[in-house]
Amino acid sequence: MAEIRIGIGGWTYEPWRGTFFPDKWPHKRELEFASRQLTAIEVNGTYYSGFKPATFAGWAEVVPDDFVFTLKASRFCTNRKVLAEAGESIQRFVRQGIVELGPKLGPMLWQFMATKKFDAQDFGAFLNLLPVKHEGVALRHAVQVRHDSFHVPEFVAMCRAANVAIVYADSPDYPAIADVTADFVYARLENTVEEEPAGYSPAALDRWAAVAKSWAAGEAPAGLPYFGDSPAKTPRDTFVFFISGAKVRAPAAAQALIARV
């Protein structure tokens, strides 16, 4: 059966103290608490810097057995003019010790600048650089592109051929691609608002719960933007993160969606 995992970006954010974390909860135990309220966390710190193997091992030790981390890949891999030249940076990211997470290692998110345009040859070369395993651990990859030049069947087809997920982003700023291209689905919901206690309205959360269940069942939910052929219907693990927007509401949004699915 496919899993639906729902979470937030990171676990350290001062406005969450007293709104998500209990009053006076120790900083060093924030991951322990967050991982018992959610089912996944997207680690954004890995985008900015590297970590030691012991750090990943420590995270794995703190969280429940069925918890999963997804890792935002280093900016040095994606923020470059020629993506085909990213091989060394990709290997450095993968080899820093991420396999210490063991079965708690989820997909890696490769996010591109909004100014990055689709170049079929160069992007195809980048996909070919993404390793399918490291030290015997299978690796899964998701790409988030934010320029409308990617809204073409060719991009969808090359990601599907590589078994790389295209991130679906519910964003106020960037166009979305909902095509399912891998054996899992990765979504980032970026429209939380502070005036809603749960970040999204109850009706919107109901809709996203239905969408998540549809993805997990292997379906292509109606009403979303598609640019390629329909994929085969097969159950897929589904990851949904509340990112950006009114960040203070992200934990409440994740918990509300978990309750619905």
Task: Sort strands 133-134 and 137-138 into parallel, antiparallel or unpaired.
Answer: antiparallel
pLDDT at 164: 98
Whole-number Å distance between alpha carbons of 136 and 158: 25
97 φ, ψ to 5°? 125, 15
Contact 185, 159 (CB under 8 A): no
- 213 and 187 in contact (C-beta within 8 Å)? no
Residue 175's pLDDT is what? 84
* Sequence-ordered list of residues with C-beta below 8 angstroms from that of 217, at least 6 positions apart, any chain: 2, 233, 235
Q: How far apart are CA 196 and CA 129, in angstroms?
A: 42
- The CA-CA-CA angle for residues 146, 152, 157, to 5°, reads 105
Q: Over the chain, what is the mean pLDDT? A: 97
- The CATH number fitting domain 4-260, selected from 3.40.605.10, 3.40.50.720, 3.20.20.140, 3.20.20.410: 3.20.20.410
Note whether 127 and 112 are within 8 A (CB).
no
pLDDT in tens, the chain (261 residues): 699 999 999 999 999 999 999 999 999 999 999 999 999 999 999 999 999 999 999 999 999 999 999 999 999 999 999 999 999 999 999 999 999 999 999 999 999 999 999 999 999 999 999 999 999 999 999 999 999 999 999 999 999 999 999 999 999 888 899 999 999 999 999 999 999 999 999 999 999 999 999 999 999 999 999 999 999 899 999 999 999 899 999 999 999 999 999
Q: Which long-range contacts (CB under 8 A, 24 or more apart) does 48-55 make?
A: 48/75, 50/74, 50/92, 50/93, 50/96, 51/96, 51/97, 52/96, 52/97, 53/96, 53/97, 53/100, 54/97, 54/100, 55/97
pTM: 0.97
In the prediction, which pLDDT does 120 show?
Answer: 98
Where are the chain's structural domains?
4-260
Q: Which amino acid is at 242?
A: F
Question: How far separated are the first and last CA of the chain, in Å rounded?
Answer: 14
Q: How far apart are CA 146 and CA 179, in angstroms?
A: 14
